[in-house]
Structure 1
């Protein structure tokens, strides 16, 4: 999107926020500050989230066996209502966040995901390339519709910030408008300085658990930079569902195919570092690669000890490619969603989603995204959301580029598609 257009959209969102403040009696906040982010954060404080100690059922789908112990203090201290006649809103997720100090925005995000699952709907999600100045192109191409979930990568958000571009205000405004934010992290290689696909050091990940090792220091520094941008979102009242070290069962990322205990320890270290930095606007997600061949480990073997949501990354090849194995022409011509191992993930955590889904190596965008919701409905499996990727060198993937994408989105009221798998 052009800069002027983006600024006009931001101005429109700002105006909508001001109108909302007037309607709720909170406009006085804007009279005492000229900083929108500060006013926005103050207003979000009026939307508090507390947990009823008697309402801590950990099952969000039939037969779910949560692996997360209930936190001891998921409550956020209620703030004063904006007017004497307006009590502060209370969010009560079915299962509290695994962070015992989760802030109001994170608790309310958990409630949103639980509500979608309880209602038997799957939210349409769209990943964006947040490092690009035209990162929101996959979104505005869908107007007047919009996805209910927007995904981005934390390494890209940090890269943009290092160039002097801060997109957190734009993301926070979307969150204030009801969009759920979720973020992966294609972490740079701490052994070589290469990108996430550089496999250097994959056989010695335990070095990242040694405080005095150079790779461990680099890994910690990169995550600290991520936490800085997440803290900016926290200041603006926006929660994020984070998915670090995803698809670890495969061998394409430097953290892939690790020793399970090492992987769990690394995941726990990321959580502890976030807590130490005072970043508590996060829900934690584990994204597994679909196990379609022997080169991918069993997803449950790497399941971290404490996660708020589990997910499956699954793509459907459309044309012959080495990534697609030996699939024949008939298989490639059939639009499908491989859910191998997903039922087991669903049963192992309080929430589940298709954390990445869609076509791969599709030159013409003929893949029909409605197969996502049809497959979930047929299998009777829940998914809080289904996130499609943006177009890249591997083909057309985003909702707006798929021939049936807009029609599918329009068929889902508020981008929430009924699948009939209510919990």
Structure 2
């Protein structure tokens, strides 16, 4: 690690053995050399995918980067509308802890669905209104918003799973979206829809709401049509770069941080970066990881921690944000939860070996099962204990993320 950090510092012109440099805060590596933390309020835009981002989006990048050194936000997908046993009302996390999550996960899936007509009686449009209202509520509460995109394949528009597609569709869906491809204009129409949402997503303060956008996730697997079997690394990078350029340059969307998140198959930096589109196109380096927690054990926790350590190290080298972008262990009414899953296995994976990640997002609860227990479940106290750990942050103790305080 020492050699990697020193080399990064030398190439960036920020490694120094003196203590009076004004380029940033000094930190000391385990073996002694002084390493400069080069991110400052003045230079933060130069490390972002969108140098023209709104001030609030710049502040979110800066504050998440700073927060990950000591804390991580605890979040959940669809927290305001995904409830175990359909027990609506407060989020299930609030039912358990008394506080909402610090991070809300949402999805562009229904918003961009071919069947979204924009008419008041249309179910998909109603979901669009619900999702955008949730994002506004989260922002007004000081929370952070992140959106994934379970994008339905462009031929039938029915599914994002390759198991539901023909061989022809699987082999051509991704590449058909590239410039010159048969579905490229269709793809631009979907991006236009996303741009329309983002350019009109405002909080009660009248300001555009910053959003972390996580497209084409878990690409190292092959359950989605954007998986590694269905496009080359070069093709994946090309479409990612087109997506970012189209949103920020063509559609003038400037309230987005872009998150890159494979599943958990990568254990080496070279693997992780094999489809990385470049520092100019990514703000958040993440990893989804359910597999290492599927049968929680000391070794599984250590493996997950090691992978997060790799992601966090790469993020530090690149002056980016690191995150556990999806995770969890689903529990239903017929299963006994794992003792200490949250306060032991998950917390240790997120914190051991000086891992620095800005947030963790658990997947959505549903009528039949939960990833985060509401009140009254056998592992509710375990989750409460997790949220009371020194690094965990819920909505009640999240610092304000949308201004930079020197």
TM above 0.5, one fold?
yes
Which residue number in structure 1 is paired with residue 323 of structure 2?
Answer: 353
Q: CA deviation at 1:151?
A: 1.0
Paired residues of 2:331 and 2:369 also in contact (CA < 8 A): yes
Point out the more displaced range, 93-102 or 170-179.
93-102
Evaluate the alpha carbon distance shift between residue 341 and residue 207 of structure 1 in structure 2; reply closer, same or farther with a 3 A threshold: same
Distance 2:81 2:194 in 1: 14
8 Å CA contact 1:361–1:395 kept in 2: the answer is: yes
Does residue 98 of the first structure (1) align with residue 49 of the second (2)?
A: yes
Q: Distance in 1 between matches of 2:29 and 2:138?
A: 32
User: Would you say 1:116 and 2:80 are equivalent positions?
Assistant: no
Q: In the TM superposition, what is the alpha-carbon distance from 1:101 to its structure 2 partner?
A: 1.2
In structure 2, the residue matched to 1:287 is 261
SS in 2 for 1:283: strand
For residues 341 and 91 of structure 1, the distance between their equivalents in structure 2, rounded to whole angstroms, comes to 32
Aligned residues between the structures: 327
Q: CA deviation at 1:409?
A: 1.8
Highest RCO, 1 vs 2 (Cα 8 Å, sep ≥ 6): 2
| CA positional deviation for 1:154 | 1.6
Q: Distance in 1 between the 2:245 and 2:54 partners?
A: 16
Rounded to whole Å, the distance in 2 between the matches of 1:316 and 1:212 is 35
Residue 274 of structure 2 aligns to a residue whose secondary structure is helix
Task: List per-residue Cα deviations over 1:294-345 (Å, max 9, x = no partner).
Answer: xxx9432112212101111111577xxxxx6xx7xx9599877724543333
Find the counterpart in structure 1 of residue 215 from structure 2: 244
Q: Deviations over 1:370-418 (max 9, x none)?
A: 222222332321111111111248942125364321232244574379x
Deviations 1:339-380 (A, max 9, x none): 454333323332211001211466344362122222233232
Gaps of 5+ in 2: 1-20, 31-37, 114-122, 399-406
For the 8 Å contact 1:158–1:229, the answer to whether it is kept is no
Write the mapping of 1:8-407 to structure 2, written as runs, cut at 5 A: 93=44, 96-118=47-69, 120-128=70-78, 137-142=91-96, 144-158=98-112, 162-163=125-126, 166-167=129-130, 168-198=132-162, 200=165, 201-204=169-172, 205-211=174-180, 213=182, 215-233=183-201, 236-257=207-228, 258-275=231-248, 276-291=250-265, 298-305=271-278, 306-316=281-291, 338-339=304-305, 341-349=307-315, 350-360=320-330, 363-366=335-338, 368-370=341-343, 371-392=345-366, 395-400=369-374, 402-403=379-380, 404-407=382-385
What are the ranges of 5 or more consecutive residues in structure 1 without an aligned counterpart? 1-53, 64-69, 75-89, 319-323, 418-423
The separation in 2 between residues aligned to 1:107 and 1:128, in whole angstroms, is 25
SS where residue 99 of structure 1 aligns?
Answer: coil
- Assess, with a 3 A threshold, how the Cα gap between structure 1 residues 100 and 207 changes in structure 2: closer, same or farther: same
How big is the alpha-carbon RMSD for the aligned residues of Structure 1 and Structure 2? 3.9
TM-score (norm 1): 0.66
3-state DSSP of counterpart to 1:238: coil
- Deviation at residue 108 of structure 1 after TM alignment: 1.2
**What displacement does 1:99 show?**
0.5
Work out the CA distance in 1 between the residues paired with 2:354 and 2:50.
Answer: 30
Contact in 2 for aligned 1:358/1:388 (Cα 8 Å): yes
In 2, distance between residues paired with 1:253 and 1:260?
Answer: 15
**Matched residue of 1:373: which SS?**
helix
